[in-house]
Copies of this chain bind each other. A is one copy, B any other.
């Protein structure tokens, strides 16, 4: 396995250096140490690391949280907070960013290393989990009026982005029939377009 690149976002140079040393001692590569939100984003764009160690408070502001949100929505890498603050407010905000870990200073090196390893592993696992396939009974379970098998196979084709024409062709029926069936499912699913139906199906699979 190639070396893991770690981005450190920490505005206190001494602590940053501490963290960096701990990293290198454990065979991680520090891709950069940055002190501000802007620099962090710059780094993410130009030199995407495998994982980020994030201080929450950067020069008095809680901009670490914003970076975390960005990492969640734009980049797809794990991150760990390393901070001195563990008050309810900070923690509340932090947890909504779904961090892989939250380490309160003073940290111990072994704990940091362990948390890193686990964050990387869990993140790798998370990506392997696939989008579940649609299951008829799972869906009907939550509907007042159940979808028939025929209708279900139509829904699966819609779910895969097929047009009415394509559906008609693969199922050897007329597009009129397709439209009729689809309309029926809209009533059952309480939707009114294929896109909303897809979203609904996803939702029903989670209940």
- Which A residues fall within an 8 A CB radius of B? 48, 73-76, 86, 91, 94-96, 98-99, 101-104, 106-108, 110-111, 113-115, 117-118, 121-122, 125-132, 135-138, 149, 158-163, 191, 193-200, 202, 205-206
Contact = CB atoms under 8 A, between A and B. Distances in A.
A131 to B, nearest CB: 5
B193 A161 contact: yes
A198 B202 CA distance: 12
Contact of A121 (B96, B126, B195): B96
Nearest to A159: B199
A133 to B, nearest CB: 8
Contact of A74 (B91, B115, B137): B137
Contact of A135 (B73, B95, B194): B73
26 contacts: A74-B149, A75-B135, A76-B135, A86-B110, A86-B114, A91-B117, A95-B118, A95-B121, A96-B121, A98-B121, A99-B118, A103-B111, A104-B111, A107-B111, A126-B132, A127-B132, A129-B129, A129-B130, A129-B132, A159-B199, A161-B191, A161-B195, A161-B196, A161-B200, A162-B195, A163-B195
A38 B160 CA distance: 31
Interface of A is mostly: helix
Contacts of A121: 95-96, 98
A21 to B, nearest CB: 17
Contacts of A191: 161
A194 B131 CA distance: 18
B111 A98 contact: no
A82 to B, nearest CB: 10
A122 B196 CA distance: 27
A114 B130 contact: no
